Amino acid sequence: FSGSFGEVYQTFHLSIYMSSNNKFSISPEMATQEVQPNETLSNLKAESDTLKTKLEDERAKLHDVELHQVAEKVDGLGQFIMKTRRTLKGHGNKVLCMDWCKDKRRIVSSSQDGKVIVWDAFTTNKEHAVTMPCTWVMACAYAPSGCAVACGGLDNKCSVYPLSLDKNENLAAKKKSVAMHTNYLSACSFTNSDMQILTSSGDGTCALWDVESGQLLQSFHGHAADVLCLDLAPSETGNTFISGGCDKKANVWDMRSGQCIQSFETHESDINSVRYYPSGDAFASGSDDATCRLYDLRADREVAIYSKESIIFGASSVDFSLSGRLLFGGYNDYTINVWDVLKGTRVSILFGHENRVSALRVSPDGTAFCSGSWDHTLRVWA
């Protein structure tokens, strides 16, 4: 085998670009073709079922080994101790979302009372604070350059605030309204630059926006319910992203064409969080059914379930450590569980928060992770 999924996809994509007869991609014409007289709904459903079973059979043929079997020869992790190294206090209400800056020490966090705060988590100083005109700011993101933050929530919009070195400057004056959805904004993320933002919303769609003009570049339809989370691919091709929604599906999208290229529906409840594996060939999801699952993109299937009988409350947020060996999950029972991704076992459980953990992100260089909670605080663990 050579190269990653990204490479295979890239050559596939190349062939689409090269061929003048676009036979492989789905054209709008195909979807709106004239209805054949004998294609009733029940016929279509039957066809759908046969296709599904056929696909499952095809995928099952390739499934020759389980993850924990392959992981047998890997050393166990031993005792794992992590402690709270910083507690960031300053929010007046539930912390809903947080994101790291690429400088590995700054954090932006948003809360239910409409406040968005930029912290230097290392010194625990607050550097900037913005008051949004709406409550429930459920999404916030730091720009790759470190010069701006984006946030949104119940106002159905995503706004970008350029940060300034002047502490007294009113950031709200330079606010730029970028995205516009028809329902609440659940997640947002900058792409590889400050100029584009990817958003997901309660209206069931995701969208890619140009920051400067506020123009909609691409929209992604396919979820049948609220989309709660998204994550961009870290791989060299950087053309795909994943989203998870209330329809229990996790979809993989092609940013260029707007199409859903893969879909996974094995969770039993809403998917609260999705995160790519560091190599870009897999992703993990956390859901209200109290499990976290690992999906392999190249084999096109779910390969691991991280759950325990004693874990009953939903996982709200997940993230991988730098090597991909550890999966951190923040749960609604105020705890953080640390999973060994390869062996499928729980390595450690961290206590400290006094209300549910709503956001969890590992720092860009993997030296620590930060958890935001409804107890109004954020904690940095290492």
Partner 1 sequence: MTIRTLRDHGQHYRPRMACLKKVEAFVVEMQDPKSGVKASDQKLNITSIPHVITGQDILAWIVTKMKVTTEEAQAFGTMLVAYGYIYPLQNHRKLVLVADSTLYRFQTPYFWPVQKWPAEDIDYAIYLAKRNIRKKGMLEPYEQEHYNNLHKWMNYKWDFIVMQATEQYKASKERKKPDRVVLDCQERAYWIVHRPPRRTHSGMDYGLDRLIDPNAEEVLTYDMVRRTNIFLTQALMRSAVKSSVSLTAFVKYVTTHHTHDPLLTNPVPSNPWITDNDEFWQLNMRNVDIPTKLSVERWALSFWELISDQRGRADFKLFLKKEHSGENMAFYEAAEEMRWGAATAIPEKSQFIFNTFLKPGAPRWINIDGRTMGLTVKGLDCPHRYVLDAAQTHIFLLMKKDTFYRYLKSPVYKDMQKKALVPAPHNFTDAQLEANAKNRNPGISPIVLWQQQEAEKAAAAVAARPIDVKAMVATNKLDRK
Interacting residues with partner 1 between 322 and 351 (CB under 8 A): 322-326, 332-335, 341-342, 349, 351
The reply on whether position 303 binds partner 1 by CB under 8 A is yes
Minimum separation from the CB atom of position 318 to partner 1 (A): 15
212 binds partner 1 (CB under 8 A): yes
Please select the residue that binds partner 1; options are 277, 283, 306, 339, rule is CB under 8 A: 277
180 binds partner 1 (CB under 8 A): no
CB contact at 8 A, 148 and 194:
yes
Residues 106 and 221: their CA atoms lie apart, in Å, by 34
Cβ count within 10 A of residue 6: 20
C-alpha pair distances (Å), 248 with each of 62, 72, 228, 260, 369: 25, 31, 10, 15, 27
For residue 322, the minimal CB distance to partner 1 (Å) is 4
DSSP per position, 115-173: EEEEEETTTTEEEEEEE-SSS---EEEE-TTSSEEEEESTTSEEEEEE--S-TTS-GGG
| From 155, 231, 296, 319, residue interacting with partner 1 (rule: CB under 8 A) | 296
29 near partner 1, judged by CB under 8 A:
no
**265 is an interface residue for partner 1 by CB under 8 A:** no
Q: Which of residues 84-123 bind partner 1 (CB under 8 A)?
A: 85-86, 94, 101-106, 120, 122-123
Q: Which amino acid is at 76?
A: G
Three-state DSSP at 28 gives helix
Is 38 one of the binding residues for partner 1 (CB under 8 A)? no
Q: Which residue, 105 or 275, has its beta carbon nearer to partner 1? A: 105
- CA of 156: how far to CAs of 136, 230, 262, 300, 374, in Å? 11, 16, 27, 33, 22
Phi, psi of 245 (to 5 degrees): -140, 180
Residues whose CB falls within 8 Å of the CB of residue 334, separated by 6 or more in sequence, listed in order: 351, 353, 354, 355, 356, 357, 373, 375
Least Cβ distance, residue 37 to partner 1 (angstroms): 14
Query: How far apart are CB 171 and partner 1 at their closest, in Å?
Result: 12
Nearer to partner 1 (CB atom), residue 80 or residue 172: 80
* Residue 136 near partner 1 by CB under 8 A: yes
Question: Are the beta carbons of 206 and 230 closer than 8 angstroms?
Answer: yes
Q: Does 157 bind partner 1 (CB under 8 A)?
A: no
The radius of gyration of the chain from alpha carbons, rounded to an integer in Å, stands at 21
**Does 77 sit near partner 1 (CB under 8 A)?**
yes
* 176 is a contact residue toward partner 1 (CB under 8 A): no
Query: Could you tell me if 290 and 311 are in contact, meaning their C-beta atoms sit under 8 angstroms apart?
Result: yes
What is the closest distance, in whole angstroms, from the C-beta atom of residue 196 to partner 1 in the complex? 6
| Whole-angstrom distance, CA of residue 230 vs CA of residue 233 | 10
Q: Which is nearer to partner 1, 106 or 159 (CB)?
A: 106
Q: CA 130, 363, 138 angle in degrees (round to 5)? A: 40
Q: How far is the CB of 109 from partner 1 (least distance, A)?
A: 16
216 in contact with partner 1 (CB under 8 A):
no
**By rule CB under 8 A, what count of residues binds partner 1?**
135
For residues 230 to 259, the per-residue mask of contacts with partner 1, x marking binding by CB under 8 A and - elsewhere, is -----xxx--------xx--------x---
Supply the minimum distance, in Å, between the C-beta of residue 382 and partner 1.
4
Contact status, residue 327 vs residue 284, Cβ threshold 8 Å: yes
- Tell the smallest beta-carbon distance from residue 191 to partner 1 (Å): 6
Q: Is 267 in the site for partner 1 (CB under 8 A)?
A: no
Q: Is residue 18 at the binding interface for partner 1, with CB under 8 A as the rule?
A: yes
Cα distances from 79 to residues 166, 248, 348, in angstroms, run 46, 34, 8
Smallest gap from Cβ 131 to partner 1, in A, equals 19
At closest approach, how far in Å is the CB of 170 from partner 1? 17
**Toward partner 1, which CB reaches closer, 202 or 329?**
202
59 sits in which H/E element:
helix 41-62
